[in-house]
Amino acid sequence: MATAAILTSSHVLELAHPLPLDGGQSLAGVRISYETYGELNADKSNAILICHALTGDQHVASPHPITGKPGWWLRMVGPGKPIDTDRFFVICANVLGSCMGSTGPASAAADGQPYAMRFPVITIRDMVRGHVALLDALGIVTLHAVVGGSMGGMQALSLAANWPQRSRAVLVIASTARHSAQNIAFHEVGRQAIMADPKWQGGDYYRTGKGPEAGLAVARMAAHITYLSEEGMHEKFGRRLQNRTAKTFGFDADFQIESYLRHQGLSFTDRFDANSYLYITRAMDYFDLAEEHGGRLAAAFAGSSARFCLVSFDTDWLYPTAESRTIAHALNAAGAPVSFVELSAPFGHDSFLLDVPALDRVIGGFLGQ
Amino acid sequence: MNGLRPDLAVIAANIVPGSRVLDIGCGDGALMAALRDARAVDARGMELDSHNVAECVARGLSVIQGDADVDLEFYTDGGFDYAILSQTLQTTKRPDLVLDELLRVGRKAFVSFPNFAHWRVRASLLWHGRMPVTRLLPVAWYETPNIHHVTVRDFRELVSAKGLTVEGSWFLSGDHGISDAAANWRAEHAVFLLSR
């Protein structure tokens, strides 16, 4: 691990023009919060855009302002790391609809009140429209690469398909070209948990101070299960009891896994807005790259001259290997230079965030070209 | 091209510069890298082993993790000038069908394989009555990936039965060339360039 400090800076871009949305509306006064690491070179050719996942944020390699935890991909981004900030200018922007400084349902609308459910339903492509506006503002015509895991991978694919000239390389990790029925089903469980919480109040909870924390926590608990592998969960928790020697014959968190999930759910509510969770999960559910391009995934990449790399993990059952292979075959059919590899890692979907040395080599090698 | 395995060196030396190549069973990408660097070839690869694929990607090569028996169907007709299958034919479930696929995705195909009729192999069977473990076939019968052993003569007959054209053939013992006539006895490796 390199110890040198990263040249980090935080910014907010206010878009001068309304952002057109896939839903037909347009959104005025959009703010995009982003961080940059490293330095942009003179011909602006060394920029890498990192796209974050559902509950991620722009703090890819800097401490989270609320939790104080290290950046979510600190192991990958920094001086001498696979995404080398000595060499590349790394940009990470909070997505449209989120709650870490970019415009979302908690932001004030024109009347000064939070949008809440008046916020338009957005898509992955709308998020990427925001990223493209940011690149325009930074004067970056073509990225060295766009990189993303999970929902970040969807954004990377969307950028490659809809703005094919904006990136020379596209790296998609543990992602998919469309949300499956199972993916949508898990998200719907989460949304219903939030909306069933009386404190949700039709989304208008901002004035009352406290939001639907119980519902949001349940949503996070359900989702968290999908990020782990069964084997990993069994190894970490098994049927072990939490700080007790016998079952209590009650509904307290007897098992370690229950205690762990409750903690994950509760701590999530400290840093995430429930309405943002509704809007972003909806955007993911609406994602179907082939549908956007006449039903043929290969057609989505017809205009692309970028290099692609797709990585999946053998224990990821949220976006299993077959999803990445489908994308690889479509890119092949489109004649694009594409690499695809399924890596072995025990951590399920979350493997892309964790210690998988082979992933470091693949990312470093692919981006280093 | 230095440092390439002898059969790969033969293939590399006989590929027209600037062509499009699919290397099926590309291993760690040594041939692809050599073709890219020395012959300006647009090389793509397919490889079963994820460690090898990771190695290839780290070298900047475009390689898809896949199985020659299954995944070639996702490649378009005639998308490549050459399809290469080096030391892989004998590991496939249906070598005859794989040959068809090679000449569907590539206008021409290089195929190299270890010759099971080499005199050391014959000697091992004749004198010891055992499946040979030789320099080129170093793995015991129960764990070898080579499930369809083939001889130079067998291969010539398959090619002829399929009505394919042999555009070139090279026979090697170590890195020495062996004549056509002596190939089935003395060649450890055979390399064929085929077309329809």
Distances from the Cα of B128 to the Cα of B120, B121, B122, B133, angstroms:
11, 10, 10, 11
As a whole number, mean pLDDT of residues B149-158 equals 96
pLDDT at A343 over 70: yes
pLDDT at B82 over 50: yes
pTM more than 0.90: yes
Specify if B121 maps to a domain.
Answer: no
How many domains, chain B?
1
Task: Map residue A78 onto helix, strand or coil.
Answer: strand
Among B55, B58, B62, beta carbon nearest to A337: B62
Which ipTM score applies to this complex? Answer: 0.85
Measured between beta carbons, the chain A residues lying within 8 angstroms of B56 are 339
As a whole number, mean pLDDT of residues B131-136 equals 82
Can you tell me the distance from the alpha carbon of B33 to that of B45, in angstroms, rounded to the nearest whole number?
A: 11
**Which of A339, A343, A351 is the best mutation test for B, with the most CBs of B within 10 A?**
A339
Supply the pLDDT for residue A3: 42
Tokens found for residue A86: 């000595």
* CA nearest to B62 within chain A: A339
CB contact under 8 A, B64 and A332: yes
CB contact under 8 A, A332 and B74: yes
Can you tell me the distance from the alpha carbon of A173 to that of A340, in angstroms, rounded to the nearest whole number?
A: 10
CB contact under 8 A, A339 and B50: no
Q: Determine contact, residues B87/B25, Cβ cutoff 8 Å.
A: yes
Q: Phi and psi for A285 in degrees, rounded to 5?
A: -65, -35
pLDDT at A167 over 50: yes
Q: Where in chain A is the domain with CATH 1.10.1740.110?
A: 183-281
Specify if B163 maps to a domain.
Answer: yes
CATH homologous superfamily of A8-180+287-367 equals Alpha/Beta hydrolase fold, catalytic domain (3.40.50.1820)
> Which residue range(s) make up the domain with B45?
6-115+150-195
On average, the pLDDT of chain B sits at 93
The CATH number linked to B79 is 3.40.50.150
The shortest C-alpha distance from A126 to chain B (Å) reads 30
Which residues 282-341 in chain A show a CB within 8 A of chain B? 307, 309, 325, 328-329, 332-333, 335, 337-341
For the stretch B17-73, pLDDT in tens is: 999 999 999 999 999 999 999 999 999 999 999 999 999 998 899 999 999 888 898
Specify if B33 maps to a domain.
Answer: yes
Tokens found for residue A97: 């609809």
Task: Map residue B54 onto helix, strand or coil.
Answer: helix
Cβ of A163 under 8 Å from any chain B Cβ? no
Q: Which residue is catalytic, options A150, A175, A229, A351?
A: A150
CB contact under 8 A, A339 and B58: no
Instruction: State in Å, rounded, how far the first CA of chain B is from the last one.
Output: 28
Contacts of A338 (CB under 8 A, 6+ apart): A307, A308, A309, A310, A328, A331, A332, B62, B64
Q: Where in chain A is the domain with CATH 3.40.50.1820?
A: 8-180+287-367
Supply the pLDDT for residue B42: 95
- Architecture field, domain A183-281: Orthogonal Bundle (1.10)
Q: Determine contact, residues A327/A295, Cβ cutoff 8 Å.
A: no
DSSP of A280-325: HHHHHHH-BTTGGGTT-HHHHTTT---EEEEEEETT--SS-HHHHH
Q: Determine contact, residues B130/B120, Cβ cutoff 8 Å.
A: no
Please say if A26 is a catalytic residue: no
For the stretch A32-52, pLDDT in tens is: 999 999 999 999 999 999 999
